[in-house]
Structure 1
Amino acid sequence: MTERDTDDISDVRVLVVDDEKEVADAYALRLRNVCDVEAAYSGPEALATVDEETVDIVLLDRRMPEMSGDEVLQRLDERGFEGRVIMLTAVDPGFDVLDLPFDDYLRKPVEREGLEAAIDHHRTVLAYDLLGEYFSQESKRAVIAAEIPAEERDGNERYCEVAAAVDTLEARITRLLADPEILETFDDVSREGI
């Protein structure tokens, strides 16, 4: 595996959520040649997008009709969203933000360089968060693989679920992480005869 440029965020999947179509499209346009970006123009549309595809970072406006950004944030949290949420809003923060489950708060307008820096930072944080889950699941898969014959493993539904989760996490981490070789060091641990 080759090491990626640490400033390369081209594989990060970003969803810009703003009820003002021009604003959402403007931020998406700024990021178009920088990362994999799409826009949603309402809270329900954002939630549907997150349910249908892997989204790494959500750039979320707070003040939207029908469903506010705060409500979208709560629903993402309740669903166990495995990504990062950056509030991208013109709303002045108050003490209420102390109880909201977001990862960063940027006041509009945000220049392209600042947005790119925030996305890069949260890409790295997300990759390392997922790395912990990967190591946990991979150690379970590896110990079973080392101790139980393949015909028994392959017939076990739970083992197959864990193996699939490991593959999904590995692909996502490799896509996000500037140094995906860190995954290979985990393979050096012997689990036979434990």
Structure 2
Amino acid sequence: MSIDRPSVLIVEDEPELAQLYASRLGRAYDVETAYDGNEALESIDENVDVVLLDRRIPGLPGETVLETIRDRNLDCRVAMVTAIEPDFDIVSMGFDDYLVKPVAREKLTDVIEQLLLRSTYDEQLQEFFAVASKKVLLDGRKTEAERKSSQEYARLEDRLAVLRARVDETVSELLEGDSYRQLCRDITRESLLDE
């Protein structure tokens, strides 16, 4: 993710709609637009945080653009923003969220914010598990006396505590949104049914 304002790429073949989205989002994000699949792939780089991608666009279809983004391992979130009602074909698609047009400004902004928050959570989890694995390794290889006398180990424990608090805080923020709270309930319910 970019350090400054988050970057959003709008991929929409209707110029008026693309400009409407851009004007709605321009105050909070750095916004670029692309009007077909080829232009979208030329515009996407490691600085793009979120892509709002229409499924029906000239040139390469949205699904192909999405696959290419994932194949390139670009660190961005993708929300499909389309007039196509979801069907079972979405199961194999690698998007992060799916919105059916028309989309209200508040919904568009909420989805972008949730996707940015999820990106932060992913980064936090990666660092948390990296630090936690170091602690587990040292716990298994060093005696308690060695660990207690090590300043590096003390810093490792402090860092792990800070990361745990940040992850917990981000989870709370994620769960504030009704759709994500419902998603967590659904996942929990499915897990219980599978047991």
1:77 equivalenced with 2:70 (yes/no): yes
Match of 2:12 among 18, 30, 34: 18
Aligned-partner SS, 1:15: strand
Q: 1:112 to 1:79 in 2, by over 3 A?
A: same
Name the residue aligned to 1:27.
Answer: 21
User: What is the Cα deviation at residue 108 of structure 1?
Assistant: 0.8
- Matched-pair contact (CA < 8 Å) for 2:9–2:34: yes
Question: Please, which runs of 5 or more residues in structure 1 have no aligned partner?
Answer: 1-9, 141-181, 187-194
1:106 equivalenced with 2:88 (yes/no): no
- The farther-off stretch of 125-134 and 105-114 is 125-134
Name the residue aligned to 2:151.
Answer: none
User: What is the Cα deviation at residue 125 of structure 1?
Assistant: 0.2
- Matched-pair contact (CA < 8 Å) for 2:14–2:35: yes
Match of 2:117 among 99, 114, 124: 124
Give a deviation string over 1:108-141, Cα, whole Å, max 9, x none.
Answer: 111111111111111100111122344567899x
User: What is the Cα deviation at residue 185 of structure 1?
Assistant: 3.5
User: What is the Cα deviation at residue 83 of structure 1?
Assistant: 1.3
1:95 equivalenced with 2:95 (yes/no): no
1:115 equivalenced with 2:105 (yes/no): no
The one of the two structures with greater contact order (alpha-carbon pairs below 8 A, sep at least 6) is 1
TM-score, normalization by structure 1: 0.62
Amino acid at match of 2:122: D
Give the distance between the partners of 2:33 and 2:25, measured in 1 at CA.
11
Q: Which runs of 4+ in 1 moved over 4 A?
A: 134-140
Name the residue aligned to 2:33.
Answer: 39
User: What is the Cα deviation at residue 68 of structure 1?
Assistant: 0.4
Aligned-partner SS, 1:64: coil
Amino acid at match of 1:15: L
Give the distance between the partners of 1:183 and 1:127, measured in 2 at CA.
17
Amino acid at match of 2:111: A
Give the distance between the partners of 1:49 and 1:139, measured in 2 at CA.
37
The alignment yields a C-alpha RMSD, in angstroms, of 2.5
- Matched-pair contact (CA < 8 Å) for 2:132–2:160: no
Name the residue aligned to 2:188.
Answer: none
Aligned-partner SS, 2:22: helix
Greater share of helix: 2
**Number of matched residues?**
136
Name the residue aligned to 2:181.
Answer: none
Name the residue aligned to 1:6.
Answer: none
Aligned-partner SS, 2:84: coil
